[in-house]
Amino acid sequence: MKESVYPEFPVILVDDEMLALDSFEIALRSANMNHFIRCQDSRDVMPTLSSRDVEVMLLDLRMPHVSGEELLLKVNSDFPEVPVIVITGANDVETAVKCMKHGAFDYMVKPVEKSRLVSGVRRALELRELQKENRLLKAHVLSDKIEHPGAFSKIVTNSAGMRSIFQYVEAISKSPRPVLITGETGVGKELVAKAVHVLSHREGDFIPVNVAGLDDNVFSDTLFGHKKGAFTGAEQARSGLIEQASGGTLFLDEIGDLSAPSQVKLLRLLQDGDFFPLGSDVAKGSNARIIVATNQDLDGLKSSGRFRKDLYYRLFYHHIHVPALRERLEDLAILVEHFLEKASKTLDKKKPTPPEELTILLSTYHFPGNIRELESMVFNAVSSHKFGKLSMESFKSHIYQKHPSFETESKQLLKEKKVLLSFSEQLPTLKQTEQLLIDEAMKRADGNQSIAALSLGITRQALNRRLRLKNK
User: Which pLDDT score is estimated for 3?
Assistant: 61
Q: Same domain for 340 and 423?
A: no
Please state, in angstroms and rounded to a whole number, the distance separating the CA atoms of residues 76 and 14: 15
The string of pLDDT tens digits covering residues 149-202 is 999 999 999 999 999 999 999 989 988 889 999 999 999 999 999 999 999 999
The string of pLDDT tens digits covering residues 191-219 is 999 999 999 999 899 999 999 988 898 99
Q: What is the mean pLDDT of residues 18-35?
A: 92
Mapping DSSP to helix (H, G, I), strand (E, B) and coil, where does residue 387 land? coil
Residue 142 has pLDDT above 80, yes or no: no
User: Which pLDDT score is estimated for 32?
Assistant: 85
How far the first Cα of the chain sits from its last, in Å, is 79
The string of pLDDT tens digits covering residues 379-399 is 999 999 988 889 988 998 888
Which residue type occupies 38? R
Helix-then-strand count for the chain, H and E: 20, 14
DSSP 326: G
Cis check for the bond before 323: say yes or no (omega within 30 of 0). no
The string of pLDDT tens digits covering residues 37-82 is 999 999 999 999 999 999 999 999 889 999 999 999 999 999 999 9
Q: Same domain for 290 and 160?
A: yes
Mapping DSSP to helix (H, G, I), strand (E, B) and coil, where does residue 214 land? coil
Strand partners, 12: 37, 57
Distance of CA 314 to the CA centre of its chain: 13
Q: Is residue 453 part of a domain?
A: yes
Please state, in angstroms and rounded to a whole number, the distance separating the CA atoms of residues 136 and 132: 6
Domain harbouring 123, CATH code:
3.40.50.2300
Q: What are phi and psi of 57, to 5 degrees?
A: -120, 130
Q: Could you tell me which of 433, 465, 430 has the C-alpha nearest to residue 449? A: 465
Average pLDDT of the chain, as a whole number: 88
Helix 449-456 × helix 460-471 angle, to 10°: 110
Q: Is residue 454 part of a domain?
A: yes
Where does a domain end: 300, 323, 346? 323
User: Which pLDDT score is estimated for 382?
Assistant: 94
Q: Same domain for 335 and 302?
A: no
DSSP 402: I
Q: Could you tell me which of 34, 71, 22 has the C-alpha nearest to residue 49? A: 71
Q: What is the domain range of residue 112?
A: 11-127
Q: Same domain for 155 and 37?
A: no
- Could you give the number of structural domains in the chain? 4
Where does a domain end: 303, 323, 343? 323
Report the share of the chain in percent with pLDDT over 70: 93
User: Which pLDDT score is estimated for 188?
Assistant: 95
Where does a domain end: 127, 153, 176? 127
Residue 407 has pLDDT above 50, yes or no: no
Q: What is the pTM of this model?
A: 0.76
Q: Same domain for 24 and 85?
A: yes
The string of pLDDT tens digits covering residues 70-115 is 999 999 999 999 999 999 887 778 888 889 888 999 999 988 999 9
The string of pLDDT tens digits covering residues 294-329 is 999 999 999 999 999 999 999 988 999 999 999 999
Q: Same domain for 123 and 19?
A: yes
User: Which pLDDT score is estimated for 125?
Assistant: 93
Helix 332-347 × helix 370-384 angle, to 10°: 50
Please state, in angstroms and rounded to a whole number, the distance separating the CA atoms of residues 283 and 276: 5
Q: Is residue 3 part of a domain?
A: no
Q: Same domain for 181 and 297?
A: yes
Confidence of residue 411 (pLDDT cuts 50, 70, 90): very low
Helix 114-143 × helix 18-29 angle, to 10°: 70
